[in-house]
Amino acid sequence: MEEIKMKKAILIALALVMTITLLAACGNNRGPLGNLNAAVQQAITEEVRNSGGDVDVHPDGTVDVHLPDGTTGQYGGSWPENEFTKIIPKPDFELTAATTSDREFTVVFVGATTEQIRGYVEKLKAAGFTSDTETEDNEIFGMFIYNFSATNAAGYKVSVFSAVGLSGLSLEKP
C-alpha cells in the first residue's frame, strides 16, 4: 500500500512540475517536458523508472508514464480515451496532465476561464451528474474560486475545480 502511495505521489509531483512549467513558459507549445531543460527531464524520467515505471517522451514534448500497478499518467497531448472519459463530456480546454488508475481519473487544464468551467459543469449536469451536488462559487481577494461535485445514477462522483487560471476534474468510481 505504501508503495502505491509513493508511485501516485510521483505522478502527482510530476503533474505539478509540468503545470508550473507550462504556466511559466507562456506560449511555448512544445509540450510539458519540452519546456524543461534536459537535466530536469532526465531526473523525472529516472525517478519514474526507479519506481518500476516507464516513461515515453515524444518528439512534441508530450509524455506518457506507466506504473507497475496500472496507473498511467499523460502530460500534454489530446483527451485520453478510457472507461472514465466515456462517462463525461469532452471539455474544450487544453489538457495539461491526466492520471488514470483503476478507481479514478484526474485531469488538469490550464487557460480555461471560470465561465468556461461553469459551462462545462452544465454539460456534466446534462450528462446526468445531478445527485448530491455541491457548488462553491466565490471571489476572494479578487480571485475566483469555483468548485463543483456531483454523482450520477451509477454512483460515479465528479469533482471540478477552478482557481487562478488552473482547473481540473476528477472522476471516481462508486
Q: Does residue 128 come out as left (phi exceeding 0), alpha (psi in the -120 to 50 range) or beta? A: left
Q: State the pTM of this model.
A: 0.75
pLDDT tens digits, one per residue of 31-41: 455 455 667 66
C-alpha cell at 18: 509540468
Share of residues in the chain with pLDDT > 70 (%): 77
Local structure of 62: helix, strand or coil: coil
Q: What residue spans define the domains of the chain?
A: 2-77, 114-172
pLDDT at residue 25 greater than cutoff 50: no
Q: Does residue 24 come out as left (phi exceeding 0), alpha (psi in the -120 to 50 range) or beta? A: alpha
**Residue 89: what pLDDT?**
96
| Distance of alpha carbon 97 from alpha carbon 130, whole angstroms | 26
Residue 113 banded pLDDT, cuts 50, 70, 90: confident
C-alpha cell at 78: 489530446
Q: How many Cβ atoms are within 10 Å of 143's Cβ, its own excluded? A: 11
pLDDT tens digits, one per residue of 117-135: 999 999 999 999 999 999 9
